[in-house]
Amino acid sequence: MTGTKKEIRKAMLLERSGQTEALRTEAGLQALKRLMALDQYKNAESVMIYIDIKNELPTGAMIVEMLNAGKTVVLPSLDGSCRI
């Protein structure tokens, strides 16, 4: 994909907005399964992840699984200068 960062973000947002909730949920579950199979995840004491917004891959189930597995979950913090 080519273009400016702003153009790429706009294109990705448009693509995601056309996906159904069921498709996003299934993609999130598949990502969770792949993550849990990684040795890096299994051996990690802490994991950094984002909270999904604007039709991004849902991360809620991943965060719950990480906490249930005893992992420290680290989330990014946005300041007032960030635009979403």
pLDDT tens across 72-81, in order?
999 988 776 6
Instruction: Find all residues with CB under 8 Å of 39, minimum gap 6, and list them.
Output: none
**pLDDT at 63 (0 to 100):** 93
Average pLDDT, the chain: 85
> Would you say residue 47 has pLDDT above 70?
yes
| pTM, to two decimals | 0.67
**Which residues are bridge partners to 72 per DSSP?**
46
pLDDT tens across 1-24, in order?
567 888 887 887 777 777 787 888
Among 62, 51, 50, 58, CA closest to 16: 58
